[in-house]
Amino acid sequence: EKGTYPHYMLKEIDEQPFVMRRIIQKYQDASGALTIDKDIVNAVLEADRLYIIACGTSYHAGLVGKQLLEKWANIPVEVHIASEFSYNMPLLSKKPLFIYISQSGETADSRAVLVQTKKLGYKALTITNVPGSTLSREADYTLLLHAGPEIAVASTKAYTAQIAVLAILATVAAKAKGIALDFSLVKELGIIANVMEMLCDAKEEMEQIAREYLETTRNCFFIGRASDFYVGLEGALKLKEISYIQAEGFAGGELKHGTIALIEEGTPVVALATQEHVNLSIRGNVKEVVARGANPCIISMRGLETDEDRYVIPAVHPMLTPLVAVVPLQLIAYYAALHRGCDVDKPRNLAKSVTVE
């Protein structure tokens, strides 16, 4: 039920802080430590490489998950779009483990790969929001998102839940390998839930940004580097699917290799700046587009901000910024679609679960 909310999407955006807290609870043992089924941890540790397979928003969560698993648990990870993988399979490592990320657990493109990899004898772990879904039943192992039903076609709380569960998997795998991490994920996810709450309280500000930048535009670009690039891809997908504005996410450094030709007087460019090690270079990219007439909307993180930034997100763990940076982008997409008179929860041409290849 959407209760007092005008749309499921807005309700589901608002639920994200609760979902973070529920995920922490569901994955805590009696002593409060994060824990994951022993068989799943063993399967991850026995693998010489993880292959994450997913579509759309779940693919974008996988890109963030790769960074967490590689940096924290030191496990090599590849992330593949399911429909590409099934017809263009890469050379596999000797002992792969396949991880299927799917909110619905019913996506046909992902299932097609699961059928293939099972035939080849490889183990599979499904990360899904729906217990008993096809991908969960057909995989060897399942991790649940505990996000509650996601009704809006545009995925929001499932994306952040997927990243949180991948973060838990990464820290639990790191611990099992004897790798010491210098932070508590329980504490960091708690901070993230609080920051998400603040961002959800900033709706008027996000509505204002949507008005200022997106009311009449034909297109919009999202740029970022490192994990901000991945969040930009997700921000662009959200915006295009519900507002029908042509939106594209790009790695900041790639602009000059072609895309910058599309920047005209007034073109909105949303730039994400939450990563210290690339802060100067992304700001350089903003200067490049501004010099061609772009209308920049810089969203940065506290500690990295400058006077020109449109919105500054409170600081969180630098590896977990996608969990908070995506929230303003979800809200901006929501209000852009609303102002343009679009059917927010049921965009044209799209279905909630895509059960055809």
Give 86 or 102: the residue with its C-beta nearer to ligand F6R. Answer: 102
232 contributes a contact to ligand F6R by CB under 6 A? no
Asked about 352 being catalytic, the answer comes back as yes
The candidate with the shortest Cα–Cα distance to 162, out of 89, 252, 234, is 234
Count of residues that interact with ligand F6R, criterion CB under 6 A: 15
CB of 95 to ligand F6R, least distance (A): 25
Closer to ligand F6R by CB, 107 or 136: give it.
107
Torsion of CA 165, 59, 288, 319, to 10 degrees: 20
Task: Pick one of 16, 86, 126, 155: the residue that binds ligand F6R (CB under 6 A).
Answer: 155
How many Cβ atoms are within 10 Å of 83's Cβ, its own excluded? 18
For ligand F6R, the closer CB: 109 or 309: 109
Interface residues for ligand F6R in 286-315 (CB under 6 A)?
A: none
Q: Minimum CB separation from ligand F6R for residue 117, in Å?
A: 16
Catalytic option among 2, 177, 203, 352:
352
Binding segment for ligand F6R among 27-35, 97-105, 191-199, 264-272 (CB under 6 A)? 97-105
Among 154, 163, 247, 326, binds ligand F6R (CB under 6 A): 154
- 354 is a site residue for ligand F6R (CB under 6 A): yes
What mask of x and - would describe binding to ligand F6R in positions 49 to 68, judged by CB under 6 A? Answer: ------xxxx----------
Residues that bind ligand F6R (CB under 6 A): 55-58, 102-104, 107, 110, 154-155, 237, 241, 353-354
